[in-house]
Amino acid sequence: MLYIRTTAYNASKTLKRAVESVLNQTYRNFEYYLTDNGSVDNGETRRIVEEYARQDCRIKAFYNEKNHVWDDNKEVLWLPHHIGPNDYFCLLDADDEYTSTFFEDMLTFIEENQLDIAACGSDFIRAEDNELIGGRILSRDLILQGDKFALYFPVYHQFMRTIWGKIFKGKTLIRTIIDPTSPKMPQVYGNDTFFTTYAFRDAKRVGVLAKSLHRYYMSPKSTSYLFNPERSKCDRILRKAAMDFLKPYGPVSQKNMDFLNAVHANATKDTLVVILSTKMPVLEKMKWTKELLSDESVMILFDSVSSAVMEVVTQIRKKILNWLSVQKACGTIEGAEISADIICLLFPKYDAFGYISSLRNKRPDFVARLKETKWIERNLLNQPILKYVSAGLAFALSDIIKCMIAEDYRKAWNLFLLNNRVKIDPKDEEAYYLLGQNLAAVVEDADAYIYFKIEWISYLIKHTRIEEAKAELNEFEDIASGDERFQQLRNRLEDQGIN
């Protein structure tokens, strides 16, 4: 027996199309579970269910009092677990439809190839105007068994992500998780993928028919386009389910790992689109974007060397940076700091500094807030060697500082030696001389180190910091006792009456 299930919520405009596509099948031996899932459309959806149930005895009608509350209709909820091991199950959404030969073609495909699960191609239809906007179909049939589940994973994964457009044998459904309150189940979206992954796990043979027999209507009102704080958690659950699915076939190949990372990257991009397009205050969007990028599994994506992942990561960066560039909130203290945190999640620290530095003219309000709160010093200039460097000096020496943050000290030093024409703010002179000393020491350029030490002592004398100058001179005169420049500094101290 073939069992079909459709649950309808406020679906009066589309439900007839779905039901008619079932009743008009060339294969007639089925039982159709049709449920009004707590609709609040003045009984319109319920009346459609009642009307079809009266017309066709193959339809079993059910009515939930509240959406997704199955207290009185557990028979519908647990249907996949209660059919026979060699019975068949499929699900049709209340706004989709089958071609008239879906059942016949799919069951024939199953029987001829001894399959436990069969999938077919789908046409993607824009719900607003019924325009065909794409499709999901293979160029030839694919039969999966044994190690082929791992070998062809990137090919068929797109079919494993959805419960629709498939027929399952009952024996593959026994261990699927159906209870929507289960802590293992994705709570916001991805339930279909989770269910189907479990079913594929218990299937010995799966086939994908190279024929489009299902029409999927895409609507912007779908939960896939709605923001929920738990959304990124669902992505992690689905990723883990896919990894667990592949484990029985040995270590996950680099090809499959790169593919899963690409899937996760695209899911992250979709979540970002939802965050930025939803109606909420800009600062809230910034906070949720930061939360999304702070997820450890997402951070891993930004370190990937896979071209497919890098392409999506580049798109994510571009979308976020373009969005931030026009937000007035970036000119506030809170907005500037959150935006800078986001930039640090989008780039390695040295590139984050480079990007922020590049915004000095484009978004002076943003940069001014960061300088005001010392955010740059706390987050980007926090290496010991940059201890005394202010944001202003860092911007004046931006190429040098970027190299130092990246710990490429040799390149930084070469740039430093070429940087003698840069005008240094008087308040940054002290930090400049200390930076020269520290950098010369790191690259072990003794002559340059002595030069900057002399410049530093001279600076101290000039600003009447005599005791400091004397201590520095005493420490380094023994090291370079023959250097006339140290004697000249000693003479300057003596001229001021200091022995």
**CB proximity list for 424: less than 8 A, separation 6 or greater:** 393, 396, 432
Helices and strands in the chain: count of H runs, count of E runs: 24, 10
* Alpha helix positions (H), 114-161: 148-151, 153-160
Residue 425 has pLDDT above 80, yes or no: yes
pLDDT of residue 455: 83
Mean pLDDT of 4-8: 97
93 found inside a domain: yes
Residue recorded with tokens 């002592």: 457
pLDDT at 471: 81
Helix (H, G, I), strand (E, B) or coil at 206: strand
Mean pLDDT of the chain: 92
CA-derived radius of gyration, the chain: 33
24 occurs within a structural domain:
yes
3-state secondary structure of 470: helix
pLDDT digits (tens, 9 = 90+) for 254-307: 999 999 999 999 999 999 999 999 999 999 999 999 999 999 999 999 999 999
**H helices of 325-465, where?**
333-346, 349-358, 364-372, 375-379, 391-396, 398-405, 409-417, 429-442, 446-462
At 153 the three-state DSSP class reads helix
pLDDT category, 497, cuts 50, 70, 90? low
Pairing of strands 59-64, 30-37: parallel
Burial group, residue 328, by CB count within 10 angstroms (0-12, 13-18, 19+): exposed
Report H helices in 406-445. 409-417, 429-442
Q: Which pair of tokens denotes residue 245?
A: 């699915």
Full DSSP string of 237-306: HHHHHHHHHHGGGSSPPHHHHHHHHHHHHHHHHHHHHHHHHSSS-HHHHHHHHHHHHHSHHHHHHTT---
Which residue is associated with the tokens 């930090």? 431
Tell me if 369 is assigned to some domain.
Answer: no
Half-sphere exposure of 320 (CA within 13 A, CB side): 30
Q: What is the pLDDT of residue 255?
A: 95
Quick one: tokens of 379?
A: 């987050």
Q: How far is CA 159 from the centre of its chain?
A: 21
Give the mean pLDDT of 444-455.
85
Q: Tokens for 440?
A: 């010369």
Average pLDDT of span 378-399: 93
Please state whether the predicted TM-score (pTM) of the whole model is above 0.85. no
Does residue 385 belong to any structural domain of this protein?
Answer: no
Per-residue model confidence (pLDDT) at position 481: 60
Find the domain containing 14 and state its range: 2-219
Q: Is residue 77 part of a domain?
A: yes
pLDDT band at 461 (very low <50, low <70, confident <90, very high): confident
Category of 374 on φ-ψ map: left (φ > 0), alpha (ψ -120 to 50) or beta: left
The predicted pLDDT at position 467 comes to 83
Q: How far is CA 252 from CA 31, 151, 245, 257, 497, in A?
A: 40, 10, 10, 6, 77
DSSP 443: T
Q: Compute the average pLDDT of residues 369-377.
A: 96
Higher per-residue confidence, 474 vs 6: 6
Which pLDDT value is given to residue 87?
97
189: CATH: 3.90.550.10
Q: Residue 160 domain-assigned?
A: yes
Give the single-character DSSP code of 96: -
**Please, which pLDDT band fits residue 496 given cuts at 50, 70 and 90?**
low
Local confidence band at 477 (pLDDT 50, 70, 90 cut-offs): low
| The one-letter amino acid at 54 | R
* Nearest residue to 233 (alpha-carbon basis) of 195, 264, 266, 260: 264
Question: Which of 396-405, 442-451, 453-462 has the weakest average pLDDT?
Answer: 453-462
The pLDDT, as a whole number, for residue 220 is 64
Give the pLDDT of residue 480: 61
What pLDDT sits at residue 90?
97
Q: What is the pLDDT of residues 200-251, one digit of tens each?
A: 999 999 999 999 999 999 876 655 667 788 888 888 899 999 999 999 999 9
Whether 482 is in a domain gets the answer no
Is residue 135 situated within a structural domain?
A: yes
Confidence of residue 479 (pLDDT cuts 50, 70, 90): low
Mean pLDDT over 195-202 rounds to 96
pLDDT for the residue numbered 275 = 94
462-471: average pLDDT: 82
Check residue 328 and give its pLDDT.
96
Looking at residue 417, its pLDDT comes to: 85
User: For the stretch 469-489, what's the b/e string if a residue is b when 16 or more beta carbons lie within 10 angstroms of its beta carbon?
Assistant: bbebbeebbeebeebeebeeb
5-30 average pLDDT score = 97
The secondary element (H helix, E strand) that includes residue 34 is strand 30-37
What are the backbone dihedrals phi and psi of residue 301, each rounded to the nearest 5 degrees, phi first? -60, -35
Compute how many other C-beta atoms are within 10 angstroms of the C-beta atom of residue 445.
Answer: 16
CA dihedral 320, 323, 325, 330 (to 10 degrees): -90
422 vs 349, which has greater pLDDT? 349
Number of domains in the chain: 1
Percentage of the chain exceeding pLDDT 90? 75
Indicate if the pLDDT at residue 498 is higher than 60: no
Higher-confidence position of 468 and 50? 50
Predicted local distance difference test score (pLDDT) of residue 482: 64
Instruction: Look up tokens 């009608």; give the residue.
Output: 61
